[in-house]
Structure 1
Amino acid sequence: MSDDPDPEREQRSARERQHERAEITEDLLGEAGAMLGEHKYPATSEELAAEYGDQRLDLPNETETLGSVFDRLVDERFESAEEAREAVYGEITGEAAGEEEYNDQRELDELDET
Structure 2
Amino acid sequence: MVDDKQGRDKQADDEKQRQRKRELEEARNRTDEAEPVRDNPGEQLGDLDDALGTHDYPATTEELVETYGDYEIETQGGRKPLSEVLAPTDDQTYGSADDVRSRIQGLIHR
Asked if TM exceeds 0.5, the reply is yes
Following superposition of structure 1 onto structure 2, how do residues 1-114 of structure 1 map, counting pairs within 5 Å? 24-59=40-75, 61-94=77-110
Alignment partners' CA distance in 2, 1:38 and 1:25: 16
Shift of 1:60: 5.0
Alignment partners' CA distance in 2, 1:57 and 1:25: 10
Q: TM-score, normalised by structure 1?
A: 0.57
Report which of the two structures shows the higher radius of gyration computed on alpha carbons.
Answer: 2
Q: Which runs of 5+ in 2 are unaligned?
A: 1-38
Alignment partners' CA distance in 2, 1:62 and 1:32: 16
Q: TM-score, normalised by structure 2?
A: 0.59
AA aligned opposite 2:74:
D
**Deviations, residues 70-92 of structure 1 (Å, cap 9, x unaligned):** 22221211000000011011111
The SS at the match of 2:56 is coil
Q: CA RMSD, aligned part only?
A: 1.5
**2:31 corresponding residue in structure 1:** none
The SS at the match of 1:40 is coil
Contact kept? 1:42, 1:80, Cα under 8 Å: yes
Alignment partners' CA distance in 2, 1:68 and 1:60: 13
Percent identity over the alignment is 32
AA aligned opposite 1:56:
E
User: How many residues get paired?
Assistant: 72
